[in-house]
Amino acid sequence: MEKLALLGGKPARDKFLVFGAPDIREAEIKEVVATLKSGWLSTGPRVARFEEDFKSYIGCKHAIALNSCTAGLHLALEIAGIETGDEVITTPLTFTSTANVIIHKGATPIFADVERETGNIDPKEIKRKITKKTKAIIPVHLYGRPCRMDEIMKIAKENSLFVIEDAAHAVEVYYRNKKIGNIGDLTAFSFYATKNVVTGEGGMITTNNDEWARRLRVLRLHGLSKDAWKRYSAEGFTPYDILYPGYKYNMMDIQAALGIYQLKRVEKNLKIREKYFRMYNQAFTEIPEIETPSEEEHIRHARHLYTILLRLERLNCGRNQFAVALQAENIGIGIHFLALHLSSYYKKRFGFKRGDFPNAEYISDRTISLPLSTKLTEEDINDVIEAVRKVIRYYKR
Ligand SMILES: *Cc1c(COP(=O)(O)O)cnc(C)c1O
Q: Check: CB of residue 136 under 8 Å from CB of residue 92.
A: no
Do 251 and 305 belong together in one domain? Answer: no
Q: Is it the case that residue 227 has pLDDT exceeding 70?
A: no
pLDDT for the residue 322: 98
Q: Provide the β-strand partners of residue 114.
A: 121
Same-domain check for residues 234 and 308: no
Same domain for 199 and 61: yes
Which one of 230, 264, 298 terminates a domain? 264
**How many separate domains does the chain show?**
2
Q: What is the mean pLDDT of residues 259-265?
A: 98
Lowest mean pLDDT among 177-186, 230-239, 302-311, 325-334: 230-239
Q: Do residue 137 and residue 186 come from a single domain?
A: yes
Give pLDDT tens digits for 188-207: 999 999 999 999 999 999 99
Distance in angstroms (rounded) separating the CA atoms of residues 331 and 368: 12
Beta bridge partners of 62: 207
Q: How far is the CA of 179 from the centre of ligand 1 (A)?
A: 19
332 with 382, same domain: the answer is yes
Residue 139 predicted with pLDDT over 70? yes
* pLDDT at residue 233 in the model: 73
Same domain flag for 70 and 193: yes
Edge-to-edge, what's the strand order for the sheet holding 108-111?
62-66, 203-207, 186-190, 162-166, 134-138, 87-90, 108-111
Is 128 in the same domain as 108? yes
pLDDT band per the 50, 70, 90 thresholds, residue 1? confident
**The pLDDT of residue 250 is above 70:** yes
- From ligand 1's centre to the CA of 102, what distance in Å? 14
Nearest protein CA to atom 1 of ligand 1, as residue: 168
**Average confidence (pLDDT) over 244-249:** 96
Ligand 1 contact, 187 CB (< 6 A): no
Look at ligand 1, atom 3, and give the residue with the nearest C-alpha.
168
> Is pLDDT above 80 for 237?
no
> Of 264, 280, 308, at which residue does a domain stop?
264
Q: Are 36 and 70 within one domain?
A: yes
Q: How confident is the model at residue 280 (pLDDT cuts 50, 70, 90)?
A: very high
Q: Is the pLDDT of residue 242 over 80?
A: yes
Among candidate residues 105, 135, 195, 390, the one labeled active-site is 195
Domain CATH number, residue 76: 3.40.640.10
Return the pLDDT at 121.
98
Q: How confident is the model at residue 226 (pLDDT cuts 50, 70, 90)?
A: low
Q: What is the pLDDT of residue 228?
A: 63
CA of 323 from ligand 1 middle (Å) equals: 22
**Total number of residues shown for the chain:** 397
346 touches ligand 1 (CB under 6 Å) = no
Q: Are residues 316 and 258 in the same domain?
A: no
In the reported structure, the alpha carbon of residue 95 is separated from the centroid of ligand 1 by a whole-number distance in angstroms of 6
Long-range pairs of 149-155 with CB within 8 A, sequence gap ≥ 24: 149/175, 149/176, 149/178, 149/183, 149/184, 150/175, 150/176, 151/123, 152/121, 152/123, 152/126, 152/184, 153/183, 153/184, 155/123, 155/126, 155/127, 155/130
pLDDT at 348 over 90: yes
Let me know whether 218 and 285 are in one domain.
Answer: no
**Ligand 1 within 6 A of CB of 44:** no
| CATH assignment at residue 10 | 3.90.1150.10
* Closest C-alpha to 119, from 149, 141, 95: 141
Residue 153 has pLDDT above 70, yes or no: yes
The amino acid occupying position 22 is: P
For 11-31, what is each residue's pLDDT tens digit? 999 999 999 999 999 999 999
User: Mean pLDDT, the chain, as a whole number?
Assistant: 96
Domain boundary among 264, 297, 329: 264
Q: How confident is the model at residue 220 (pLDDT cuts 50, 70, 90)?
A: very high
Rg (CA), the chain: 22
Question: How does pLDDT run across 71-104, given as a tens digit for each residue?
Answer: 999 999 999 999 999 999 999 999 999 999 999 9
In this prediction, residue 225 carries a pLDDT of 86
- For residue 10, indicate whether it is catalytic: no
Residues 193 and 276 in one domain: no
Residue 229: pLDDT band with limits 50, 70, 90:
low
User: Domain containing 128: what range?
Assistant: 26-264
- Domain identity same for 349 and 277: yes
